[in-house]
Amino acid sequence: MTPETGWGLILGATLGFGLWMLVSLVPILRRPLLLHRVAPYVLDVSAGARDLIARRRVDPTRVLGVVASPVGDRLLPVVHAVLGAPEGIRRRLRQAASDETVGEFRGRQLRWSVIGAAAGAALGVAGAVQSGPPALPAVLLVMGAATGAFTVDWLLQRRAKRRLARISSELPSILEFLSLSLAAGEGLQDALRRVGAAGGSALGSELSGVVSDAAAGTSLSNALATLADELGHPGVTRSVDQMRGALERGTPLAQTLQAQALDARDAAKRDLLEAAGRKEISMLVPLVFGLLPTTVAFALWPGIHVLQVGF
């Protein structure tokens, strides 16, 4: 393969992909049908109208997922073994408060894998053209695909961890607010509604969802149990168990929640001390490998220079 042929393949593929995306986004220049004109006004009563409106949304990158779906179905067990089971993905999506489904998340992973594979293959072809090893395009293609898939999963894990950390920081204040509302004579559902409407906290929005489910017909105990199972947060699970016990057995709850708030604050202090210990060790890395060698070099260099000049 000559250099001109390699660069021609890369530039031609890039131009074709860009033109395809531009053409797919161009609106169709024709009179709208009667179905399309009526559908927006009957969305509340017609599932067909909702499907018709949903089909009119164009996303050119979804074609990649449709084209690669037969191969993806055969490789699905391997993907689950490498990238995680659907249950774990569903749990992380719920913890990150994402509206995506597992299928949409897998489709996004597939799209970024294809983009990473294309970028790796392009770099590999460019390297092979410049007298590189022949296997370089295949190696970079696999590395680019793996990087795209794992990056999407890592970003989801990061979002889930950040939201769980935010819930941990909000938990003591929420429990104290609940205990105060219960001590003032309100019921548990009213106290949850008051806490959920008090601010824009992550845990408050979760409690608002529990109240909404209870208002829709689900029992408050089952809604709280669903919240604890989906979030998988230890502090929230303990608090939910106490609330469910109070609902089922009629035991007092205000003092218990106050004690749990104190325990949550103590746990936050322990986590802060552990994080400080880990950061202390990580701070030694630039000190040992950066500042200390520089100091030694500045201390020894004048003596070495004098010795070289003198002899």
Name the least confident of 20-24, 210-214, 261-265, 278-282: 20-24
Which residues, including other chains, have CB under 8 Å from residue 226's CB and lie 6 or more apart?
213, 218
Q: For the residues 255-272, what does the mean pLDDT come to? A: 85
Gap between the Cα atoms of 12 and 22, Å rounded:
15
Task: Parse the chain into domains and list their residue ranges.
Answer: 32-59, 169-267
Q: How far apart are CA 156 and CA 264, in angstroms?
A: 26
Enter the DSSP assignment of 39: G
CA distance 81 to 88: 12
| Alpha carbons 75 and 19: distance in angstroms, whole number | 30
Rounded mean pLDDT, 131-152: 84
Predicted confidence at residue 80, as pLDDT, reads 65
Say how far apart CA 267 and CA 202 lie, in whole Å: 19
- Does residue 75 register a pLDDT over 60? yes
Residue 194: count of CB within 10 angstroms of its CB: 18
Instruction: Report percent pLDDT > 90 for the chain.
Output: 5
Is residue 156 within 8 Å of 174, Cβ to Cβ? Answer: no
Residue 134 CB partners (closer than 8 Å, separation 6+)? 128
Give Cβ neighbours of residue 194 (< 8 Å, ≥ 6 apart): 177, 181, 186
pLDDT for position 156: 92
In angstroms, the CA 65 to CA 60 distance is: 10
Q: Which of 30-34, 133-137, 139-143 has the lowest mean pLDDT?
A: 30-34
pLDDT higher than threshold 90 for residue 295: no
188 in Cβ contact with 221 (< 8 Å): no
Residue 1 in this model has a pLDDT that exceeds 60? no
Mean pLDDT of 147-160: 91
Rounded to an integer, the average pLDDT of 101-125 is 86
pLDDT at 158 over 90: yes
Please say if the pLDDT value at position 60 is more than 60: no
Q: Give the mean pLDDT of the chain.
A: 80
Q: Are 202 and 166 in contact (CB under 8 A)?
A: yes
